[in-house]
Every structure is written in structure tokens, then in C-alpha cells.
Structure 1
Amino acid sequence: MMMSTKSLSPQETHSLLSNNTEAIYIDVRTVAEFATGHPRAKVVNIPILFRHPSKEETYPNQSFLTVVEDLYPKETPLVIGCGKGPRATQAAEQLVAAGYANVATLEGGYSGWKDNNLPTTKDNREGVSYVSLLMKVKRKGKKKAAH
């Protein structure tokens, strides 16, 4: 049986991220999309799909779950968002299937967030950007393998 994920309005998402110190927003858009702007909140970029640079093709990010599982315990309140909605739903379903119990999606995605005039940023520093998160997981993996 699939647990269904709840959908939060942009206002509800903003309020959850402002008030719940545990909650985190996972932006599952591509690195390029994320760099053009995202919600100003406790946010990380972990793409669910990659776009082929020259072909009009997308392919799944095989490390999506690995990175999330490495960073966040299963009880962490997660809000998943993309551009408009479909990728977030796909990502949320994967997370629920992997045992995350507290997963919601941002209704209307980043478009909805912007339409509600909620704060945005282009901040892509270490700890936010996908590359920095992936490197952290890879470094940990090397340490584990060294034993």
C-alpha cells in the first residue's frame, strides 16, 4: 500500500520551514534550474532527474535516495518541491517507499512559491548545492570503505 504524501500550499510550506527547526525543503529541480533561484528557506538541491546537455532527454539521478538517506534520518519532516509539481510527486513517492514518514510536496512548486511573493534566493553555497552534498556523501563512503 502506498502511503500518500500531503501537499502543502506555499504559505503552509513557508510557515513550516520557518517554525520547525527539523524541517527541510528539498528542491528536486536540476542544478541549472536551482541556480536561477529557489525558496529562501532551509533548502538543499538534490535533483531527481538530470537533463542531457545537448539532447532533449532526461535521465534519473541514481544517487537521489543515497544522498537524502545519508543526510536526513527517516523521521525528518521533508517538503519536496520542483518547478510546478510532477517531479516533486515522483521524488516524494520514492522517499515514502524508502521509509520516510513525514513527506509533503509544495503545491505549485517554485512557480507557486514565487506567485505568492515568498522570499527567494540564488544562494548555492556549500551545504546547499548538489555538488557539495554529493561530495560529502562520497567522502563518507570512502571513509566507510577504508575500515
Structure 2
Amino acid sequence: MNRKILMLTVLLIITGLKIFFQNGMVLAQESSAVKKIMSMDAYDRLRTWPDTYLIDVRTREEYQFTGHPENAYLFPYMMMTGKLQKTDDRYEYQYNQKNQDFISEINKFFKKTDNLLVICRDGKRSAQAAKELSDAGFKNVFDVEDGFEGREFPYFEDPNLDKWYKNLSRQNKIIRYKKRHHYGWQYWGLPWTYEMDPNYLYPPDLSNLQDTSFNDKK
């Protein structure tokens, strides 16, 4: 009888230890995974958390001409190309050239324990970039999922429904259909700028800087 009780006790201890270590592994995986936040959360953390930085992974062109959050570091995840592509009835230049130095350049600039808030236009590229940063060993990575401009509104998972409403908006000349006027850093009125501060520009670009300033000769 005592032997049965002893064996049962040992079995319970082994089971408990197994559950403990499994839960510990899950917690460890979750702690290193990318967390999704909104731009309002990102702005609050930039103001209140130490060692917290906002990384803008859009193209150079977007950063300069569309504007960017104040104090956002430019590290392009994708590069704009001169390739024009047509999808259905939509024409657009592609940014399908992956920046092969993305991780290596960020490794030079930030610590693995820094809080990195990753933002793009609408949350697509930032999700990809944030995952790569997490996989590269950065411990505290946050994906700003509503982006700088926000997703096109409205958004439908069903492509047929999307096509239906697109045609409907054209027939009735609804001009605000599929515009980026809902959600995002700009929508919430968070501080942004067109100013190109060299302290926040992509570091490799600064090494190839061309100074075209005009110096008056007296």
C-alpha cells in the first residue's frame, strides 16, 4: 500500500514538473514574440518607456514625401523600384526589392534589449520586419499594426465583396472609398513631420551624402 502511494506521489511530481517546464517554454516563446500595438500605444511608450525607439520601415520616398512620425528612425525594409505593375485595373510602382542589409544595419544601431516599435504605411511590411527582428534575437519588438497612414477603408477579406463595392463606388462617384482616412498615426493626430533630420535617416545613406549647399562668395 505504501509502495503504491509512493509511486503515485512520484508520478504526480513528474507530471507537475512536466507541466511546469512546458508552461515555462510557452511563456518564454510568448515573451520573445512580436506584440501588436496601435499607434496611440506606440506614442505613449515612446514618451514613458526608457530605451524605446520607433523604426519606420517604409521606403525612403515615403519617409520624405508622405512625411513620418517625429523622431522615427528610417530603416527601409523594402526598396522602391522603377518597375510598374498592373493588377486588375490598378497600376502601381513596386517596392518589391528587399533590403538585404535591414537586420545587419539595425544590429549596428540598437541593442537586443531595446524596445523597438516598428511602423510602416498600414501594418503589412511592419509585421514582416518585426518578425525578422524577433527571429534575429531582439527581445522586445512591437508591430504598430495601424501604421502611419492606416489601411485602405473599407477593407474586405472577401475579394468578390471588395470588387462589388469598388464598382458600386465608381458608378456612384463615391470619392472617399478606399482612401486611407481611418486609423493610423496621422489619423489620431500624433506628431509627424516632413523634416529630414540626419540623426534619424538610414545610416548607409549618410556615408554617401552629397552636400549641394550653395556658399556665397564675397
Fold in common (TM above 0.5): yes
1:39 and 2:69 are equivalent in the alignment: yes
In structure 2, how many angstroms separate the alpha carbons of the residues matched to 1:67 and 1:137?
13
- Equivalence map 1:19-98=2 (5 Å): 19-35=48-64, 36-40=66-70, 42-55=71-84, 56-57=93-94, 58-98=96-136
In structure 2, how many angstroms separate the alpha carbons of the residues matched to 1:34 and 1:87?
14
Q: Which residue of 2 aligns with 1:110?
A: 148
Unaligned runs of 5+ in 2: 1-28, 85-92, 150-183, 209-218
Cα distance, 1:136 vs. partner?
6.5
| C-alpha distance 96-137 of structure 1, shift in aligned 2 (>3 A) | farther
In structure 2, how many angstroms separate the alpha carbons of the residues matched to 1:123 and 1:64?
23
- Report the secondary structure of 1:79's partner residue: strand
TM-score w.r.t. the length of structure 1 is: 0.84
Contact 1:67/1:137 (8 A) holds in 2: no
Cα distance, 1:54 vs. partner?
4.3
- Report the secondary structure of 1:78's partner residue: strand
Cα distance, 1:107 vs. partner?
2.3
Q: Which amino acid aligns with 2:41?
A: E
Cα distance, 1:124 vs. partner?
1.5
Q: Which residue of 1 aligns with 2:39?
A: 10
For the aligned residues, what is the CA RMSD?
A: 2.0
Q: 1:126 aligns with which of 198, 201, 216?
A: 198
Unaligned runs of 5+ in 1: 139-147
In structure 2, how many angstroms separate the alpha carbons of the residues matched to 1:87 and 1:74?
21
Runs of 4+ in 1 over 4 A off after TM superposition: 135-138
Cα distance, 1:84 vs. partner?
0.1
* Offset from partner CA, 1:113-142 (integer Å, 9 cap, x none): 111111111121212112xx125689xxxx
* Offset from partner CA, 1:82-107 (integer Å, 9 cap, x none): 00001000000110000000000112
